[in-house]
Amino acid sequence: MAFPDTNQGKRFIRMDQATIVARQEAQATLTTFKKRLRDLLNLKLPTTDRDPLQLAPRTLELEDEAILDLVEFFNVTEEAHAEGLRYAEVRAHASKAAEQAARIAGVLTLFEDQKATCVSRRHMSIAINLTNFYLEEALRVFAAGTVPKHMQEAERLRVWLRDMWEEEFVDVSAVAQRGPNALRSADRVKQLFAVLKEYGWLRKVEGSHIISGRKSRRAYQVVRG
């Protein structure tokens, strides 16, 4: 599973030399990938003697080190989807993670060499990394609904302050006027400031501070660490 954030507003056309070279390299890689797919699709697949339409794929063994890595991955994900732990909200995905990693490792092995007879530790390591990515995506997508709305909004504001707000200090008025459109209610911003202050992402400061060219006596220091 993959559900990336939208790139709307970021899909700029760039014509600098580095971008052109990167695009050419990507196109060459894609061409190689397509050729490999064609070669595999043109292979004569093994079938049973009784039925030429029934596939009879051979068994891929696992190298000893690949088995050890897969067992370790199974144990880690098994523990992590216990109640209250990281993958508890995506148990259906976590409980099958090791199986999926083994399948991915087999696909990677045969994609590289259709005559291979065993899965190497290298392919298993890549497969486990991919499976971890898919697990984190499942967690991000499906577990998002379990996070209270005000915490989701507080996180959105924290990211905006970190990435978009360039000044050291900020106040409710600045965010209500210039912050994310969905958070431009002064009352709502006050509530979110309280959350960010509680978790250490904002610090209330005394005295008067300059914010966007004006003095403010209700300033907070943005913590970006």
DSSP of 102-164, one letter per residue?
HHHHHHHHHHH-TT--EE-HHHHHHHHHHHHHHHHHHHHHHGGGGS-HHHHHHHHHHHHHHHT
**pTM for this predicted structure:** 0.63
pLDDT in tens, 34-51: 999 999 999 999 999 999
**How many angstroms separate the Cα of 171 from the Cα of each of 106, 154, 186, 193?**
55, 15, 10, 9
State yes or no: pLDDT of 208 exceeds 90.
Answer: yes
- pLDDT the model gives residue 145: 61
pLDDT in tens, 90-109: 888 899 999 999 999 999 99
- pLDDT the model gives residue 1: 62
**How many angstroms separate the Cα of 92 from the Cα of each of 82, 150, 159?**
12, 27, 30
Mean pLDDT of the region 13-30: 96
pLDDT in tens, 164-190: 999 999 999 999 999 998 888 999 999
Domain range annotation of the chain? 1-146, 149-222
Other CB atoms closer than 10 Å to residue 129's CB: what's the count?
Answer: 11
Mean pLDDT of the region 11-27: 94
- pLDDT the model gives residue 224: 85
- pLDDT the model gives residue 59: 94
What CATH class does 149-222 carry? mainly alpha
Confidence of residue 143 (pLDDT cuts 50, 70, 90): low
Least confident of 13-22, 80-89, 197-206: 80-89
